[in-house]
Chain A
Amino acid sequence: MSALSLRGVGRRVALPGGGHLDILTGVDLDVASGEHVAVVGRSGSGKSTLLNIVGLLDRPTSGQYLLDGRPTAELSARRTARLRGATFGFVFQQFNLLPGRTATENVAAPLLYGSPGEFLARRATARAVLERVGLGERLDALPEKLSGGEQQRVALARSLVRRPRVLLADEPTGALDVDTGAAVMDVLEELVREDGTTLVTITHDLSVAARADRQFRLDHGVLSELRPGSVADLTAHRETV
């Protein structure tokens, strides 16, 4: 059974002047537990919308989304929020660290919405995860005192602190230079491999996409799978991405 399963998923939005826009059309996607998939596509192709739907931040207007084989359409807003927090971790391109909070406080923040045990042990848990991403010396540093790579590693630690089954990374290296981005991806892949976490990466960077088990291309809201491990395909798409 797939961890994530999208069947004919579409997302349509109404336009202010009347009419509508189809951002996603008939998307089919199955992601197995522990698998790493990457989605590439042009800006505006619907990548972030797809990630938002997968992460239960948004709902499809058509089709069906199954999480661990269970449909998500009928979930209440409250249940959806709880399921989102317990199942998914998010890594954003701009890190989105909470300003004014230390690295430890940032990483502990998701635990405020967790179980009583998670809440009570939040500081110790946050410190342990920061140690895992190599920031054991920067526990009390504020985001503005950290480099870009360090900030993204804090964001990475934060996304993993509740031990999510699925990690959703939206352009995780988009705001980093090539070397730093590669280093962050190394840490990211190592952690998800250790924990058996499913990883869905959205990226412009073909070298980042090449690290995935499978690659998909999203073009005008339509998702298609690229041939497995085909560097040639990736290179062929370099000009279009």
Chain B
Amino acid sequence: MSVLLRPLVSVAAALVEAWGEVRVHRARVVLSLVGVFLAVFAMTTITAVGGMGRQLLGESFERSSGRPATLQVNAYPDGAVTAGSTERVVAVLREAAERHDVRWSGLVSGGSAPVVVRFAAGAQTVQLTGVDAAYGVMHRVAPESGRWFTAADEEAFSPRLVVNGAFAERVGFDGSAPATVVLGGERPVRATVVGVVSPPYSDPAVPSGFVLNSAAAAWGLVDPAWSGPPSLELWVPEADAEALTALLQSEVQAALPGTSVSVWRADAGGELGVLDLVLAYGVRGVGVFALLLGGIGVLNVGLVTVRQRIREIGVRRSFGATSGRVFCAVLLESVAATAAAGALAVALSVALVSNAPLELLLPAGLTLTDVPAYPVAAAVEGFLAATAVGALAGLVPAVVAVRAQVVDAIRY
């Protein structure tokens, strides 16, 4: 028991001793740690804010282009587009998605089809995009009110619509009660508005919206001759993206002779990769440089302090302190001080970033669906960096302390 207890107690005693030094010399310690504190605070805060910025940018990309990795398959007949050729393309694309057992996939109409909508104020042509329900998840759609399409909407007896703010305003939909509107066409049908969103790349002042592909086909809302065949989107693991791209290209092309097939990765993984590099190396590089400068301050003060404390070190040697213990105590003083500064800096950064009114800081029209929590990695990184700087800055004073001759130290 004592064999195990002694090393533990030695460590505890060394920590108590080091903390005692930090406490007694707190004014000196605080002054020496200003640089480390500011460096850690800046590094962790910028990393955290950068992470949130990345999330914001990522969500923005995902709303328009899909989540990483989203593959888009386009198949366009070389001749005239007819209802038959479109049906054939749709069948092949759906079959391809099922064959590869992709959980999240869906068809998106090639272009927004003009549909006559009979608003109370008068009929108006509105651009509707045909989608599958999975589009909501794949494009991180966050309804401002109401909801996105569900699987039950596929079986509904009338079309369901998710529209933009201008459309919702014209039919008086605010999410609290359903609103209906008659859609024109060969067979007029009363559609139900179930949600309001802000579609990317669309004028918010002009009514537009989404309709399920199944409903568009059932009620003839979208003319394939006008919009062309739909595209297939598949949300696949990033590791499989490259192989699947090549596979789909050959499979779909083989199944659709006389059709131009193209498959590519539609999400913005590459552009976010550049941002990740900037965050990883740019921000960290500046932070590490600032930390090193702070560490030099700690080293300077540590050296001066050790020389002033030679007598005290000699007295501790008379108590039975070994060279190793003196080394550890001086080193731990530096480590304990910078670790405390690092913890304080991280705590302040967490408090600031977590409570900052991000919605006020975002540009108008931008929303953050998944507000990221303060990145734990940034906090841990900042704390460890501060501790490491303390260890480095404490090495030289610790060596000086150990080299002091006990007899001279007491007499000094």
What's the Cα separation between A48 and B20 when bound, in Å? 30
Contact B319 A98, beta carbon cutoff 8 Å:
no
Q: Are B407 and A119 in contact (CB under 8 A)?
A: no
Out of B9, B20, B406, which one reaches A57, CB within 8 Å? B406
In contact, A113 and B13 (Cβ under 8 angstroms): yes
Cα A109 to Cα B320 with chains together (Å): 11
State which size class the interface on A falls in.
Answer: 20 to 34
Contact B320 A81 (CB under 8 A): yes
Is A55 located at the chain interface by the 8 A CB criterion?
yes
Is there an interface contact between B325 and A113, defined as CB atoms closer than 8 Å?
A: yes
Inter-subunit contact A82/B320 (CB<8 Å): yes
Q: A181 at interface (Cβ–Cβ under 8 A)?
A: no
- CA distance in complex: A88, B411 (Å): 18
Contacts of B6 in A (CB 8 A): 115-116
B315 sits at the interface (CB 8 A): yes
Is A211 interfacial (CB 8 A cutoff)?
Answer: no
- Cβ–Cβ contact B316 & A109, under 8 A: yes
Classify the interface of chain B: helix, strand, loop or mixed.
helix
> In B76-115, which residues have CB < 8 Å from any A CB?
none
Q: Tell me if A90 counts as interface (CB < 8 A to partner B).
A: yes
Interface residues on B, range: 20 to 34
Instruction: Determine, out of A99-107, A202-210, A218-226, A227-235, the stretch whose residues face the partner at the interface.
Output: A99-107
Residue pair A119, B321 in contact (C-beta under 8 Å): no
Verify B320–A52 contact, CB threshold 8 A.
no
Of the residues B2, B315, B410, contact of A116 by C-beta under 8 Å: B2
> Which one of B20, B312, B319, B410 lies within 8 Å of A113 (CB-CB)?
B319
Complex CA gap A114/B13 in Å reads 9
The CA-CA distance from A182 to B320 in the complex, in Å, is: 29
Contact in complex: B322, A109 (CB < 8 Å)? no
A78 within 8 Å of B (CB atoms): yes
Looking at B16, B17, B320, B322, the one whose CB has the most chain A CB atoms below 10 A away is: B320
**B7 CB, min distance to chain A CBs, angstroms:** 10
Give CA–CA (A24, B411) in the complex, Å: 18
B311 engages A81 (CB within 8 Å): no
Q: Does B307 contact A (CB under 8 A)?
A: no
* A88: B residues at CB distance < 8 A: 318
Instruction: List, in ascending order, chain A residues with CB within 8 A of B24's CB.
Output: 99-101
> Given A113-B321, A116-B2, do A98 and B315 touch, yes or no (CB 8 Å)?
yes
Residue pair B323, A116 in contact (C-beta under 8 Å): no
| Contact across chains for B407 and A85 when beta carbons are under 8 A apart | no
B12 at interface by CB-CB < 8 Å: yes
Contacts of B177 in A (CB 8 A): none
Given contacts A57-B407, A105-B20, A120-B9, contact A112 B319 (CB under 8 A): yes
- Residues in B with CB closer than 8 Å to A67 are none
**Quick check: B411 and A48 within 8 Å, CB to CB?**
yes
Q: Which A residues are in CB contact (< 8 Å) with B406?
A: 52, 57-58
Question: Does A84 lie within 8 Å of B323, measured CB to CB?
Answer: no
Interface residues of A (CB under 8 A from B): 48-49, 52, 55, 57-58, 77-78, 81-86, 88, 90, 92, 96, 98-101, 105, 109-110, 112-116, 119-120
Residues in chain B within 8 A of chain A (CB atoms): 2, 5-6, 8-9, 12-13, 16-17, 20, 24-25, 311-312, 315-325, 406-407, 410-411
Give 11 A-B pairs besides A81-B320, A85-B320 with Cβ atoms closer than 8 angstroms. Answer: A52-B407, A57-B410, A78-B324, A81-B322, A85-B321, A90-B318, A110-B320, A113-B319, A115-B2, A119-B12, A120-B9
Could you give 8 example pairs across A and B, Cβ below 8 Å?
Answer: A55-B318, A78-B322, A78-B323, A81-B321, A81-B325, A100-B24, A109-B319, A116-B6
